[in-house]
C-alpha cells in the first residue's frame, strides 16, 4: 500500500495554481480547504505525510499521529509546529524557503514609497476636485520625501532582508543590517542593534518569530528611534509589541508604521492596532507574500520535498 498524505489548509493557497506535481507526489491524498480544529487529531492518525500552512501541530496532536513521518510546512516560519515533540516522535519537519523574497521586498517598498510620495492622498485630492481649484499648476498639500539618502535599517539578514537591502541601495538609501540585540560580538557588516535603531529613517523587520525575537520592538526600542522614523513589519506580528506601537504612534514617538502582519491573525475587532484613532499607520492583511508566482513556488517546493521523502532520498529537516 502506498503512502498517504493530507493537506490541512489548502485554502491558504488560493487562485489558479498548478497542483498536479503535488498531487502526483504520493499515492493517496486527502485535501482539506480549512480543517476544523476538532478534526485534526483524527485526521493525523493514519497519514504518512501532513502539509500545513498555519494549522497548529502541537505535542498533544502529534502524540496521536503514530504513522506520521513527515510534516511539510507550506511557509518558512515553523512556529505553529512543536519541533521538540516532533523530534521525540521521530517526525521530520521541513519548510519552504525563498519563495516570496521578491514579493515581500516589493511590499516593503510599496510601504516606503507610499509614505514618500503620498500617492493615495493626492489621488483622493484630485478626484475630489482639489487640482481643478488650484491657483498654480500643482498642489503640495502633503509633504513629499526623497528616499535617496535616507537610512534603511534591516533586522534579519536572511534572503528577504538581503533583497530589501539591495533594493534600498538601488534607491540610493544608506543600508545598515542590525546585529542581534545583546550580541557579544558585532559581526562584519553588522551594526549594533540599539545604534542601528537610533539611526534608522526606515526600520524594516525580516526576522523569524522566536522566543528571543518575540516583542523585540517594544516600548524601549520605539523610544530609541527617531521621531521621524518609519517602522515596517512584514515578518511576524509577534516581533512587535502592538500596544507599544499604538502608543508610540499616538504620541508621535515615531512618525509612521506599516505592517502586513499582526500578533493575532485574523485579528479581533478589538486589536490594539485596529483602533480608529491611530495616526500614520498602514495595515495590509498578511498578503505581501502572496503573489501568484510565490504561491506556485510553495506548491512546487512541497512536491519536490515529498517526492524525495517518498523515494527515500535525503531531505533537510528544520528540527
Residues with a known catalytic role = 236, 265, 286
Cell of 136: 498654480
* b/e code 134-155 from CB counts within 10 Å (16+ = b): eeeeeeeeeeebebeebbbbbb
Nearest residue to 9 via CA among 28, 26, 33, 25 = 33
Amino acid at each position: 500500500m502506498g503512502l498517504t498524505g493530507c493537506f490541512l489548509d489548502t485554502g491558504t493557497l488560493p487562485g489558479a495554481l498548478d497542483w498536479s506535481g503535488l498531487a502526483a507526489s504520493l499515492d493517496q491524498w486527502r485535501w482539506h480547504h480549512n480543517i476544523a480544529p476538532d478534526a485534526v487529531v483524527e485526521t493525523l492518525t493514519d497519514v504518512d505525510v501532513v502539509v500545513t500552512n498555519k494549522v497548529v501541530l502541537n505535542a498533544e496532536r502529534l502524540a496521536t499521529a503514530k504513522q506520521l513521518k513527515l510534516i511539510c510546512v507550506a511557509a518558512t516560519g515553523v512556529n505553529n509546529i512543536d519541533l521538540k515533540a516532533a523530534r521525540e516522535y521521530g517526525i521530520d519537519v521541513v519548510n519552504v524557503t525563498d519563495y516570496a523574497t521578491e514579493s515581500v521586498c516589493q511590499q516593503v517598498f510599496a510601504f516606503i514609497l507610499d509614505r514618500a510620495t503620498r500617492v493615495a492622498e493626492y489621488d483622493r485630492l484630485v478626484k475630489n476636485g482639489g487640482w481643478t481649484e488650484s491657483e498654480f499648476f500643482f498642489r503640495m498639500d502633503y509633504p513629499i520625501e526623497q528616499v535617496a539618502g535616507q537610512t534603511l535599517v534591516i533586522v534579519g539578514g536572511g534572503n528577504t532582508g538581503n533583497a530589501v537591502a539591495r533594493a534600498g541601495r538601488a534607491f540610493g538609501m544608506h543600508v545598515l543590517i542590525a546585529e542581534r540585540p545583546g550580541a557579544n560580538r558585532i559581526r562584519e557588516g553588522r551594526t549594533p542593534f540599539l545604534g542601528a535603531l537610533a539611526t534608522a529613517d526606515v526600520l524594516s523587520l525580516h526576522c523569524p518569530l522566536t522566543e528571543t525575537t518575540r516583542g523585540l520592538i517594544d516600548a524601549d526600542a520605539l523610544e530609541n528611534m527617531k521621531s521621524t522614523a518609519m517602522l515596517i513589519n512584514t515578518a511576524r506580528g509577534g516581533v512587535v509589541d502592538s500596544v507599544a506601537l499604538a502608543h508610540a504612534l499616538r504620541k508621535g514617538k515615531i512618525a509612521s508604521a506599516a505592517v502586513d502582519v499582526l500578533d493575532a491573525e485574523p485579528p479581533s475587532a478589538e486589536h490594539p492596532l485596529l483602533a480608529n484613532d491611530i495616526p500614520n499607520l498602514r495595515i495590509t492583511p498578511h498578503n505581501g507574500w502572496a503573489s501568484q508566482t510565490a504561491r506556485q513556488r510553495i506548491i512546487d517546493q512541497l512536491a519536490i520535498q515529498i517526492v524525495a521523502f517518498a523515494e527515500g532520498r535525503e531531505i533537510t529537516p528544520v528540527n
